[in-house]
């Protein structure tokens, strides 16, 4: 009873703190109006925060993961984040400009004017998962800050070192009216997304998303959902198999497969499946001659996730799948692993295996054969809409059939993951993999209110005929206008 009371008190305090912050942030955003220099300065400070503290960031990630490849962290959490921030900074002057639109005929002829003003929404809540703690906390700020908003970030409880560092650095580089950080797990998250934000950006799992939407609905808060799912790879018999295998395995082993966009399962033309499997093995061996003590190969975030991945393998094997472990010769992951898990290919899968229904989020790759491209397309369309979809091949007709015949957040042709790095294009999911997007102009618009501002003609003549008492003028006008 007492602890429940304490829980209630803590929740009450957190609610109060969040509501105060939201109020302050909203007022600050509104009173600043369109101040391009300040928006750029905020993006500049995010860039400085990342560049000046990159070593600390890499170390915090290493601590949280057990081991995380330093080059991998620099590439994904620093470089990948900087690139979209810099792109937003370069373009925000153009994005912010009011957009002139046509006025209803014939009012425009008499001097009426219509424009769209892109107004900040106010205070945006950002909920972050554990797999890229810095990229997913600071990357969205390119879109959020270029649109003139303020932000409150809630990092993941699975990455305590990264979350603490995020909070410390934000305090050093920003005023709380610009960015605040709230630390905590799902309970804090639930309180967080029940607050009257002007927008919520949730990056996380599809299974948690409905509760986020329900909480946000109480305050009619609009939500962007950046979720996960099973991103398929199609390999046509026209693909360059060596190159294809290297690109697939590079994407699958980056962050040990713990990426929302990681290739989740592979659909391969039966004619080339044996050769592809051989190349997948060679590609892995080439990139990782060793794994356990290899700094380039990252660990699984924690014991719970290692157990989850192992149980996916056990379930598949128990239901008749063949497992191919891609571990270097002489390494025994049972006796020593440093939290790492070798990549696996899984053959002879069936639809009732958890590996074919759950997002894998680790270094396991089921391989499924198809006879005709249409079979692969149907396989994908029978399942929830994926975040990413990858096609390898040189047959343009097949490529077009895949692009037009499937619905996914994005597509990469002859690579995996790479579409997220195109800063000029939106990134987001569709259906079960998310709604809304950020990056590029679409990101700016996602976090802006497109406000129509109409200035009426100074002349009475064109308006007078639209008001009672109606005369022949309006009749004639309507007769002309009401037609096909
Ligand atoms: P998660 O959904 O468990 O947690 C994400 C965040 O939500 C964490 O901060 C967590 O504390 C919080 N949270 C959990 N339950 C909550 C609740 N009931 N109310 C409010 N907040 C709650 O996800 P995760 O395990 O941290 O991350 C992995 C998932 O994220 C994968 O599904 C992956 O595909 C997805 N992801 C998506 C993207 C993307 O950009 N689309 C990027 C990275 C990860």
Pairing, β 223-226 against β 434-435: antiparallel
Ligand 1 proximity of 193 Cβ (cutoff 6 Å): yes
C-alpha 77 – ligand 1 centre gap (Å):
17
C-alpha 147 – ligand 1 centre gap (Å):
24
H or E segment to which residue 344 belongs = strand 344-347
Question: How many angstroms from the chain centroid is the CA of residue 309?
Answer: 22
Instruction: Provide the pLDDT for residue 337.
Output: 84
Ligand 1 proximity of 208 Cβ (cutoff 6 Å): yes
Provide the CB-side half-sphere exposure for 241 (13 A, CA).
15
The residue ranges of the chain whose pLDDT is under 50 are: 1-2, 5
| Atom of ligand 1 lying closest to residue 261 CA | 34
Instruction: Provide the pLDDT for residue 447.
Output: 98
C-alpha 212 – ligand 1 centre gap (Å):
10
How far is residue 14's CA from residue 10's CA, in Å, rounded to a whole number?
6
C-alpha 207 – ligand 1 centre gap (Å):
9
Active site members? 226, 260
Rounded to whole angstroms, what are the CA distances from 122 to 46, 116, 296, 399? 19, 18, 41, 42
Rounded to whole angstroms, what are the CA distances from 280 to 86, 262, 283, 426? 36, 15, 5, 31
Q: Which residue minimizes the CA distance to atom 15 of ligand 1?
A: 186
User: 388, 417 in Cβ contact below 8 A?
Assistant: yes
Rounded to whole angstroms, what are the CA distances from 17 to 182, 222, 293? 10, 21, 45
Closest-CA residue to 361 (of 418, 424, 413, 298): 298
Burial class (CB in 10 A: 0-12, 13-18, 19+), 421: middle
Which residue out of 65, 139, 200, 205 has the highest number of ligand 1 atoms within 8 Å of its CB and is therefore the one to mutate? 205
Ligand 1 proximity of 410 Cβ (cutoff 6 Å): no
């Amino acid at each position: 009873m007492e602890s429940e009371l304490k829980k209630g008190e803590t929740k009450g305090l957190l609610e109060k703190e969040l509501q105060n912050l939201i109020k302050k942030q909203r007022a600050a955003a509104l009173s600043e109006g369109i101040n391009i220099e300040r928006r750029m300065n905020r993006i500049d400070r995010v860039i400085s925060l990342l560049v000046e503290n990159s070593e600390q960031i890499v170390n915090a990630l290493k601590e949280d993961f057990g081991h995380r490849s330093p080059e991998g962290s620099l590439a994904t959490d620093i470089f990948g984040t900087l690139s979209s921030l810099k792109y937003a900074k370069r373009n925000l002057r153009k994005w912010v400009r009011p957009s002139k639109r046509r006025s209803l005929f014939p009012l425009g002829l008499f001097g009426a004017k219509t424009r769209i003003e892109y107004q900040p929404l106010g205070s945006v809540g950002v909920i972050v998962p554990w797999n890229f703690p810095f990229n997913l906390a600071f990357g969205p700020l390119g879109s959020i800050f270029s649109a003139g908003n303020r932000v409150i970030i809630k990092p993941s409880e699975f990455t305590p070192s990264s979350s603490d560092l995020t909070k410390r650095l934000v305090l050093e580089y920003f005023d709380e009216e610009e960015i605040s950080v709230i630390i905590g797990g799902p309970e804090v998250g639930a309180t967080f997304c029940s607050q009257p934000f002007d927008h919520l950006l949730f990056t996380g799992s599809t299974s948690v998303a409905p509760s986020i939407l329900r909480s946000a609905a109480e305050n009619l808060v609009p939500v962007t959902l950046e979720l996960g799912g099973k991103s398929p790879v199609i390999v046509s018999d026209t693909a360059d198999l060596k190159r294809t295998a290297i690109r697939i395995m590079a994407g699958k082993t980056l962050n040990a497969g713990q990426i929302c966009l990681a290739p989740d399962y592979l659909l391969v033309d039966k004619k080339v499946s044996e050769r592809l499997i051989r190349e997948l093995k060679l590609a892995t061996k080439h990139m990782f001659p060793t794994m356990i003590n290899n700094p380039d190969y990252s660990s699984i975030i924690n014991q719970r996730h290692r157990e989850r991945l192992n149980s996916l393998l056990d379930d598949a094997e128990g239901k008749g799948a063949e497992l191919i472990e891609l571990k270097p010769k002489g390494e025994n992951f049972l006796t020593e692993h440093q939290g790492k898990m070798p990549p696996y290919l899984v053959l002879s899968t069936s639809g009732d295996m958890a590996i074919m229904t759950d997002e894998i989020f680790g270094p396991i790759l089921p391989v499924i054969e198809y006879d005709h491209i249409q079979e692969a397309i149907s396989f994908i369309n029978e399942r929830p809409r994926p975040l990413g979809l990858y096609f390898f091949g040189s047959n343009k007709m097949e490529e077009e059939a895949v692009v037009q015949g499937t619905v996914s957040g994005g597509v990469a042709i002859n690579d995996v993951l790479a579409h997220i790095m195109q800063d000029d294009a939106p990134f987001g999911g569709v259906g079960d993999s998310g709604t809304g997007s950020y990056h590029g102009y679409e990101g700016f618009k996602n976090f802006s209110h497109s406000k129509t501002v109409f200035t009426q003609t100074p002349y009475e003549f064109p308006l007078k005929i639209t008001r009672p008492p109606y005369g022949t003028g309006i009749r004639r006008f309507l007769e002309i206008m009401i037609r096909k």
